[in-house]
């Protein structure tokens, strides 16, 4: 009898080696093996993924998609039920693609361990195999690998485990989740190529919160405002957001369908604040890609097991919704792409394109599941100190939900960028925006901005000194100033770049080239040289010029004398008094200080393009 049993086992092992081995292998993830005390380093993460790939060779594939600044290989993992791993073939099969990004802030690696467990359950023990019926699961196990490998127990003071975690910045100490539009880092540029190769139907960025203490262990937000395609926003509001909350709660977690920020960090009773999402952030960038995107924020003070399993459940729930609504999601995305390609079709109809959203003052009652707390004046900080208990406090609070478009533009038919602005053009190329070049010098009518009053931020923000307020204590706020649009005749050299807006990525071009957009090239400092005066007048020359100008123009003389009389700072500055006249002379106008070099074309007629 023993010989017969052994023979059967040997036969099963030879005929079904993967299945037989899986039944006897321990498939717990590294985090599960440690009972969630630790998270694996990058090598251990890849080792576990290699095991899964070997066990399910027709369903899982690992691919490189670039390198980090320190030279580590960036990888994606693809789970496809039928062994089809080509994005074009997957789209042709009318299956939806979910792309999940993990550990962009590498101390927030919960999504990595959740994805390892979800992948195992899809293709090894098959308990979640149905999630691949109409969907393909693509995930980046670790995006910020260089930060991930800078492990320490002291990287995140706000966070409850694991024992060691990664660092927020990349190898250059840049925050990758501020780099999507400007694309300064090799990681961001690799991501953009990856995204456009796969063109996923839904995107998720997994994070862990900072901020207040509360009962929720899973918070999330999916943009559905006026900058999102209306039909997509309706589906998000009516189907996706409530279904995720229902399923995550049913799985034993406490979910909030909004990212929790307080109106006043020292007084939770004041209510929940408004969240803006410009394209420096991943999910803000995804809006410009005409795709729905979800920000997941696990709560930092919950234990690591609770956070990882909560991340697992919201990804599982999203895949269930995507499987159920696969055909609808494909149609929504196709229509959003078509609408984006029409933005420059009628530039004279004055239709407005939203660039920036703000709170309009309206609130909605929100049942907030918080904790009871006390407030007292701190002798340490000198301000109010909030101390949280773990006694539930459920209160209906005002939630700043009202939204208005605070900055908008009427899109032109196209933009024309002088060829010498190579850094600006290079970013558009990194985004795969379609560009053409002029084949000859061209002079014609364009709209151009004249800008002044800019104030640059003092301390650096993401390695730059932008024209907007940064984040964190101690940053001097920037000020954008004013840009006025005029129509004029301008000349552009051969080889200048023409960006027509009859393309899927028209929103990316608009946000990069409209100066007032929140993450425009101008705001990030790529057009700083236009604000620098290159020619100056010597004092003795300007003295003579000032007298001649006042002799010819009594009104100018009166304006100058009034300024001297009423502006003590001006009156006390010899340089400012002489500059008054220089700025009103033809010599200053030739400097073109503040003249934005990019032209807006209302038509491509007559423009010599390829």
pLDDT, tens digit, 9 for 90 and up, residues 311-346: 999 999 999 999 999 999 999 999 999 999 999 887
191: confidence class by pLDDT, cuts 50, 70, 90: very high
Mean pLDDT value of segment 66-76: 98
Q: Identify the domain boundary among 404, 423, 444.
A: 404
348: confidence class by pLDDT, cuts 50, 70, 90: low
9: confidence class by pLDDT, cuts 50, 70, 90: very low
119: confidence class by pLDDT, cuts 50, 70, 90: very high
- 202 and 126 assigned to the same domain: yes
For residue 396, being part of any structural domain is answered with yes
For residue 4, being part of any structural domain is answered with no
- 157 and 61 assigned to the same domain: yes
- pLDDT > 80? residue 477: no
For residue 313, being part of any structural domain is answered with yes
Tell me the whole-structure pTM to 2 decimals.
Answer: 0.92
Mean pLDDT value of segment 232-248: 98
d(C-alpha 358, C-alpha 225), whole Å:
11
Mean pLDDT value of segment 117-124: 98
- 128 and 254 assigned to the same domain: yes
- Residue 414's closest CA among 599, 598, 597, 601? 601
Query: What per-residue confidence (pLDDT) applies to 5?
Result: 40
Mean pLDDT value of segment 555-559: 97
Domain that holds residue 296: 26-340
- 379 and 442 assigned to the same domain: no
For residue 429, being part of any structural domain is answered with yes
d(C-alpha 37, C-alpha 134), whole Å:
35
Domains held by the chain: number: 4
- 522 and 547 assigned to the same domain: no
Query: What per-residue confidence (pLDDT) applies to 23?
Result: 56
d(C-alpha 279, C-alpha 270), whole Å:
28
- 69 and 114 assigned to the same domain: yes
- 327 and 180 assigned to the same domain: yes
For residue 19, being part of any structural domain is answered with no
Query: What per-residue confidence (pLDDT) applies to 588?
Result: 81
For residue 3, being part of any structural domain is answered with no
147: confidence class by pLDDT, cuts 50, 70, 90: very high
The H-or-E segment that residue 9 falls in is helix 2-15
Query: What per-residue confidence (pLDDT) applies to 281?
Result: 98
- 454 and 499 assigned to the same domain: yes
- 318 and 199 assigned to the same domain: yes
- pLDDT > 80? residue 248: yes
Q: What is the mean pLDDT of the chain?
A: 94
- Provide CB contacts within 8 A for 317, sequence distance 6+: 243, 244, 247, 248, 251
192: confidence class by pLDDT, cuts 50, 70, 90: very high
- 388 and 327 assigned to the same domain: no
For residue 11, being part of any structural domain is answered with no
- 477 and 581 assigned to the same domain: no
**Do 221 and 259 form a contact (C-beta atoms < 8 A)?**
yes
d(C-alpha 578, C-alpha 455), whole Å:
23
- pLDDT > 60? residue 610: yes
For residue 345, being part of any structural domain is answered with no
Q: Identify the domain boundary among 340, 371, 395.
A: 340
Query: What per-residue confidence (pLDDT) applies to 36?
Result: 98
- pLDDT > 60? residue 229: yes
More confident residue, 469 or 492: 492
pLDDT above 90 covers a percentage of the chain that reads 89
- pLDDT > 80? residue 238: yes
Distance of CA 401 to the CA centre of its chain: 21
- 471 and 447 assigned to the same domain: yes
């Amino acid at each position: 009898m023993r010989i017969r049993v052994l023979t059967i086992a040997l036969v099963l092992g030879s005929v079904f080696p993967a299945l037989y081995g899986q039944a006897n292998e321990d498939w717990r993830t590294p985090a599960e093996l440690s009972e969630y005390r630790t998270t694996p380093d990058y090598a251990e993460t890849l080792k576990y993924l290699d095991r899964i790939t070997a066990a399910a060779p027709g369903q899982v594939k690992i691919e490189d998609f670039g390198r980090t600044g320190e030279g580590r290989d960036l990888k994606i993992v693809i789970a496809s039920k039928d062994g089809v791993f080509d994005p074009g073939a997957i789209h042709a099969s009318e299956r939806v693609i979910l792309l999940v990004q993990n550990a962009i802030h590498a101390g927030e690696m919960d999504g990595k361990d959740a994805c390892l467990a979800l992948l195992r359950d899809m293709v090894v023990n098959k308990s979640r195999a149905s999630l691949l019926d109409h969907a393909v699961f693509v995930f980046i196990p670790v995006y910020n690998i260089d930060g991930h490998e800078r492990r320490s127990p002291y990287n995140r003071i706000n966070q409850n485990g694991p024992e060691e975690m990664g660092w927020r910045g990349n190898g250059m100490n840049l925050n990758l989740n501020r780099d999507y539009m400007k694309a300064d880092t090799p990681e961001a540029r690799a991501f953009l190529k990856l995204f456009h190769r796969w063109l996923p139907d839904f995107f998720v960025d997994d994070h862990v919160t900072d901020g207040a203490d509360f009962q929720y262990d899973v918070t999330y937000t999916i943009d559905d405002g006026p900058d999102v395609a209306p039909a997509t926003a309706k589906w998000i509001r009516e189907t996706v957001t409530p279904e995720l909350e229902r399923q995550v709660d049913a799985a034993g977690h406490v979910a909030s369908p909004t990212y929790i920020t307080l109106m006043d960090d020292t007084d939770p009773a004041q209510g929940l604040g408004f969240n803006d999402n410009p394209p420096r952030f991943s999910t803000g960038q995804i809006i410009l890609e005409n795709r729905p995107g979800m920000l997941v924020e696990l709560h930092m003070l919950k234990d690591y097991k609770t956070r990882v399993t909560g991340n697992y459940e919201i990804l599982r729930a999203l895949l269930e919704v995507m499987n159920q609504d696969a055909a609808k999601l494909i149609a929504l995305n196709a229509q959003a792409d078509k609408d984006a390609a029409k933005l420059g079709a009628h530039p004279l109809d004055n239709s407005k394109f939203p660039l920036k959203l703000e709170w309009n003052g309206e609130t909605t009652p929100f049942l907030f599941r918080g904790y009871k707390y006390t407030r007292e004046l701190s002798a340490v900080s000198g301000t109010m100190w909030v101390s949280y208990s773990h006694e539930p406090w459920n209160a209906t609070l005002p939630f700043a939900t009202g939204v208005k478009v605070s900055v908008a533009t009427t899109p032109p038919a196209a933009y024309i960028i002088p060829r010498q602005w190579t850094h600006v053009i290079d970013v558009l190329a990194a985004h795969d925006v379609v560009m053409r070049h002029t084949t000859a010098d061209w002079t014609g009518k364009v709209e151009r901005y004249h800008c002044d009053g800019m104030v640059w931020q003092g301390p650096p923000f993401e390695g730059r000194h932008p024209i907007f307020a940064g984040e964190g204590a101690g940053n001097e706020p920037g000020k954008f100033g004013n840009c006025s649009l005029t129509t004029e005749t301008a000349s552009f050299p051969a080889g200048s770049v023409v960006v027509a807006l009859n393309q899927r990525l028209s929103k990316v071009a608009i946000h990069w080239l409209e100066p007032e957009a929140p993450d425009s090239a101008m705001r990030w400092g790529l057009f700083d040289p236009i604000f620098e005066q290159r020619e100056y007048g010597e004092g003795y020359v300007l003295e003579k010029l000032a007298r001649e100008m006042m002799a010819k123009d009594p009104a100018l003389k009166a304006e100058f004398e009034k300024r001297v009389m009423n502006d003590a700072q001006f009156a006390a500055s010899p340089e400012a008094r002489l500059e008054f006249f220089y700025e009103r002379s033809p010599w200053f106008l030739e400097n073109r200080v503040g003249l934005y070099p990019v032209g807006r074309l209302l038509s491509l007629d007559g423009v010599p393009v390829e």
